[in-house]
Amino acid sequence: MKLYRISNIHLVVLIANWITIIYFTERLIPEYTAKKCKWPNASDDGSDFNIMLVADPQLIDNHTYANRNGFLLRLTQHTTNKYLYKNFKSLKKILNPKSVLFMGDYLDNGRLDFQGDYPSSTLENYENEMAKFNMIFRQESKPLKKEKGKVKEKIKEKAKENKEIIMENNAELILNLPGNHDIGWSNGITEQALARFHRNFNETNVKIIRQNHELILLDTLSLSNTEIPEIYNPPRAFMEAINNEEKYLKRILFTHVPLYRPKEDCDKCGALRESQSFPISKGFQYQTVLDNLLSKEILTKIKPDLIFSADDHDYCEYEHDFFDNYKDHKVKEVTIKSMSMAMGIYKPAVQLLSLHKEPNAKGHTFDYTICYLPKPYNEVIIYCLNAALTIIVLIFAVFLKSNNVSFITQRKRPFFYDQLENNGDGSGINNNKSVSSRLLQYLEKDEESKIDDDTINRGSYISNMKSFVKQNRRKTRFNITIFTKQACLLFILVAVIYLSFTKVPNKS
């Protein structure tokens, strides 16, 4: 029996289509979105010191969504980590910041190893999440890999001196600000969690001078502790030292948890906020704002000219009042958006901060703006639609275009019609008659099909019908087999192509 021949040109077209879609969503969209971001009021001579602020990446681990099954949890982890990696890489490439400053909450459950309520959060889980963070954010450039000895010594010396780390493209990766998901909150912080943060990220409570500006990174989480002197003494001593210094430069304060504001002001966040109001609440290992008295003390002793905070995941601009040196002062606090697609916001973003060498036309020595990332889940929608299109094309190619089924509107008659027409004397069915492919219709319309009972006996007719049914069953099984094989082949090829585009490189 002659096999049904099915052209495979559609497979080539589908694979080319998937390569185009994956390249578009994984490479072109992140870079195109990053190109829409611009450093605020950039100077003509390029002398600005540009800092990219990243808040709350909060890498998902096994405890983030405890009720999800293993497959959905791994899918969520892969999707969110890939979103962070490709957008962080594109932002570095396009914007070329001189520093990248993280605002805390690097991991989602870095604090849980030391909490009795979460005994399953082991050191192994923490190390796995730490490895993922390094893969996404701490890739070293090629020169660092080639010149391991001298370059690494320079990095260590610079890190000890300025408490920073050199990363790819000669930008500083500043990891001195902890979040409550990294070490806990207030009296829930343990010395072990804090020491581990220092070991894996960096020392807390530091002052970094860049472009005639003081960047003050204050661990307000530990400062809120009231029970363990080893935890609250270092940030308090650091704050007192800043207070005792003569202020010559502009100061920018960085704190993970926002400063206090009254509930009646919670809807005064500006037009860039997605939710209606800023929440004032507290619970296990978190508090959405610092205590009122502590906030006033920080404002009075640090005397900041600008404040950046995180933790809320959404955007908010709020103006604080404080009294110092017999004068009333106002300072703006900017709570920046999370970079992650899993933090309950529709538009993740980073913040761009430019420090000017000289005051600009507006008299400002610093400017900031928001930089939006691609909308989350758009790529998921694109992939689902393309998968549906792929299935439709496969069905059309396999089931509707085999050699016994016509193309679009043209219909062929059953194979046994040729046998009926060529029975020797030219008698048989009407050549111009279009007949339905359904067997019942053939049986009910003997007269319309004009079958000559004298030439072809009923036994031969029934035999041909049975042969027709069997052959159609064989063809259906054959088509199903071809469809399954081609679908599996496409799935494997698309998965390999997708993973080659989205693989997060290992830390060397």
Give the angle 187-190-193 at the CA atoms, nearest 5°.
135
pLDDT at 8: 74
Residue 150 confidence (pLDDT): 47
For residues 25 and 502, the answer to whether their CB atoms sit within 8 Å is no
CA 94 remoteness from chain centre: 18
DSSP for 161-229 reads HHS-EE-GGG-EEE-----HHHH-SGGG--HHHHHHHHHHT--SSEEEEETTEEEEE--HHHHT--S-H
Considering the domain boundaries, does residue 379 fall inside one? Answer: no
| Cα dihedral 31, 32, 35, 37 in deg (nearest 10) | -100
Q: At 320, phi and psi to the nearest 5?
A: -100, 150
Tell which residue, 306, 292, 190, 294, has the closest CA to residue 239.
294
pLDDT of residue 284: 85
Q: For residue 121, what pLDDT is reported?
A: 53
pLDDT, tens digit, for every residue of 161-210? 444 444 445 678 999 999 999 999 999 999 989 999 999 999 999 999 99
How many domains are contained in the chain?
A: 1
Instruction: Give yes or no for a contact between 207 and 244, defined as CB atoms under 8 angstroms apart.
Output: no
Examine residue 23 and state whether it is found in any structural domain, yes or no. no
Predicted local distance difference test score (pLDDT) of residue 433: 41
- DSSP codes joined into one string, 250-317: EEEEE-SSPPP--GGGTT-S-TT-SSSS----EETTEESS--HHHHHHHHHHH--SEEEE-SSSS-EE
Q: Please name the residue that has the structure tokens 């998937």.
A: 18
Residue 423's pLDDT is 44
| Nearest residue to 317 via CA among 308, 305, 325 | 308
For residue 179, give the nearest of 282, 77, 81, 107 by alpha carbon: 107
- 188-200: per-residue pLDDT in tens? 999 989 999 999 9
Q: Per-residue DSSP letters for 463-485? A: HHHHHHHHHHHHHHHHHHHHHHH
Task: Give whole-number Cα distances, 135 to 66, 84, 116, 322, 508, in Å.
Answer: 24, 11, 29, 42, 9
**Strand 306-309 to 250-254 pairing:** parallel
Burial class (CB in 10 A: 0-12, 13-18, 19+), 409: exposed
Local structure of 344: helix, strand or coil: coil
List of residues 6+ apart from 365 with CB closer than 8 A: 212, 213, 250, 355, 356, 358, 359
Residue 188 falls inside a structural domain = yes
Q: Which residue has the tokens 């490439």?
A: 93
Rounded distance between C-alpha atoms, residue 270 and residue 94, angstroms? 28
CB count within 10 Å of CB 121 equals: 20
Query: Is position 396 within any domain?
Result: no
Task: With beta carbons less than 8 A apart as the criterion, state whether 355 and 208 touch.
Answer: no
β-bridge partners, 306 = 252
> Digits of tens for pLDDT over the chain (508 positions)?
444 444 578 888 888 888 899 999 988 999 999 999 999 988 888 889 999 999 999 998 877 776 777 788 888 888 899 999 999 999 999 999 999 999 999 998 877 655 555 444 567 778 888 989 999 998 653 333 333 444 445 444 544 444 444 444 567 899 999 999 999 999 999 998 999 999 999 999 999 999 999 999 999 999 999 999 999 999 999 999 999 999 999 999 999 999 999 999 999 999 999 998 999 999 888 899 999 999 999 999 999 999 999 999 999 999 999 887 778 889 999 999 999 999 989 999 999 999 998 888 778 899 999 999 999 888 888 988 988 888 888 887 777 655 444 333 334 444 444 444 444 444 444 444 433 444 445 545 554 454 455 455 555 656 666 666 666 666 677 677 777 877 787 788 777 877 777 666 554 4
pLDDT 10s digits, 214-245: 999 999 999 999 999 999 999 999 999 999 99
- Give the containing element (helix H, strand E) for 350: strand 349-355
User: What SS3 state is found at 491?
Assistant: helix
CATH number at residue 113: 3.60.21.10
Cα separations in angstroms, 118 against 66, 185, 243, 350, 494? 11, 16, 39, 31, 39
Range of the domain at 339: 37-158+173-372
Q: How far apart are CA 241 and CA 171, in angstroms?
A: 28
pLDDT, residue 122, reads 66
Q: Are 238 and 205 in contact (CB under 8 A)?
A: yes
Q: Are 19 and 41 in contact (CB under 8 A)?
A: no
Distance CA 486, CA 10 (A): 10
Place of tokens 């016994």: 404
Q: 52 - beta bridge partners?
A: 100, 352
| Cα(355)–Cα(260) distance, integer angstroms | 26
Q: How would you class 25 by CB atoms within 10 Å of its CB: exposed for 0-12, middle for 13-18, buried for 19 or more?
A: buried
The residue with tokens 């003390």 is 297
* Alpha carbon 329 to chain centroid, angstroms: 40
Residue 107 in domain: yes
CA distance to 84, 95, 258, 284, 335, per residue, from 349 (Å): 11, 14, 18, 27, 12
Report in angstroms the alpha-carbon separations of 241 from 301, 422, 467.
9, 107, 96
Residue 421 to residues 330, 424, 425, 429, 446, Cα–Cα distance (Å): 98, 8, 9, 6, 15
Residue 197 has a pLDDT of 93
In Å, how far are 218, 238, 289, 418 from 232, measured between CA atoms?
12, 10, 18, 95
The answer as to whether 416 is a domain residue is no
Q: Is residue 457 part of a domain?
A: no
Sign of CA dihedral 409, 414, 415, 416: negative
